[in-house]
Amino acid sequence: MALGTLDRTPPPFFRQGTSARTKLILFAALALFLMVADARFALVQQLRAVLATVLLPVQRTLLVPVEIVEDGAEYLQGLKAARAAEQDALARLAQHSVQAARMRELEAENAKLRELLELRPSFAVRTQAAQVLWQAADPYTRKLVIDRGAKQGVALGAPVVNEHGVLGQVTRLFPLSAEVTLLSDKDAAIPVLNGRTQQRAAAFGGVNDALELRFIAANADVQPGDPILTSGLDGLYPPGLAVATVQHIDRRAEGGFARVSLKTAAQMDNVHHVLVLEPMSRQLPTRPDPKDALAGSGGPR
């Protein structure tokens, strides 16, 4: 073959067009131009909307397996939680049924005993709702001011409670408002009753913003968790209201008395609505005057 007939052009694999650096600069400039044009003139906004509309069914189709797995897991978890809640509700219902039957039995027994002993029926306590206006500014006291006063029938010494238990009592009365001293105040005291042993005592406030039973013998039958209720002996609080629970007992205190710390049944902070009770003294019969008693008996002998 003659040398002049040979094809001296490089094969397609070795052919080189525009250099890689030129292509990089060209496409980078094109990308920058598109970004600036889209940001300034929104040139590709319609194209983006069309692509999003076209790709939406594809995206939804791809998400179907993920949604099926997630929904299945949530269904199984919800079914398990529902079964656990059902078992708990059935157990609570059975417990409440037993308690209701016991309460009916005790009420019937109480009515028979009162009829047998010819005791007067239980007092009906009149109540009225009140809203807490503000807390007393004195940092050394625990007092609240409510929006009910003498014109609304609030009496001095009226007990104040909420849905959890006793909060305190009215210690200062105004025409349209009243000041309530909380049980945790340093000057507060309330006669109480141990709900388990029926032992009477007195609870005092001002001990680390809590209550304390005082003058309790070191060997007294008091245990942590004992419910502490109102005894009703002061003529103010109705008997049986929740006051606190026994939290800690120190039987090594000096003087032969145990130091019993209580946790109040009602939270003393963040109180917004309360219930004001009528003092029990308003429903008790008036005490006879000693002079009238002496006159009726013919005088001293």
Q: What is the pTM of this model?
A: 0.54
Same domain, 237 and 162: yes
Number of domains in the chain: 2
Residue type, 17: G
Domain-ending residue, one of 69, 87, 121: 121
In a domain, 290, yes or no: no
Residue 92 lies in a domain: yes
The torsion angles phi and psi of 116, rounded to 5 degrees, stand at: -70, -40
192: pLDDT confidence band, cut at 50, 70 and 90? very high
**Confidence band (pLDDT; 50, 70, 90) for 170?**
very high
State what percent of residues in the chain have pLDDT above 90. 5
Q: Looking at the domain assignment, is residue 298 inside a domain? A: no
Question: pLDDT value at position 211?
Answer: 87
pLDDT at 180: 92
Cβ neighbours of residue 172 under 8 Å, at least 6 residues apart?
A: 156, 178, 179
Any domain includes 141: yes
Q: Are residues 38 and 112 in the same domain?
A: yes
Average pLDDT (167-189) is 89
- Which range of residues forms the domain containing residue 182? 127-282
Whether 14 maps to a domain, the answer reads no
Same domain, 182 and 112: no
Indicate whether 198 belongs to any domain. yes
Q: Are residues 278 and 131 both part of a single domain?
A: yes
Q: Are residues 187 and 87 both part of a single domain? A: no
259 and 194, same domain (yes or no):
yes
CATH number of the CATH domain containing 240: 2.40.10.340
The most confident of the ranges 3-17, 112-126, 139-153 is 139-153
Judgement on whether residues 131 and 91 belong to the same structural domain of the protein: no
Same domain for 99 and 131: no
CA distance 81 to 72: 14
Is the pLDDT confidence value at 275 over 60?
A: yes
Question: Is 122 a residue whose pLDDT tops 70?
Answer: no
Identify the pLDDT of residue 7.
Answer: 60
Least confident of 26-40, 120-134, 166-180, 263-277: 120-134
Verify that 145 and 187 share a domain, yes or no: yes
Beta bridge partners of 131: 273
Q: Which of 121, 138, 164 is the last residue of a domain?
A: 121
User: Are residues 149 and 181 located together in one domain of the fold?
Assistant: yes
Does 251 lie in the same domain as 170? yes
Summary mean pLDDT of the chain: 80
Q: Would residue 7 count as lying in a domain? A: no
Residues 196 and 68 in one domain: no
- Look at residue 6 and tell me if it is in a domain: no
Q: What is the mean pLDDT of residues 29-39?
A: 80
Given 121, 141, 176, which residue is the final one in a domain?
A: 121
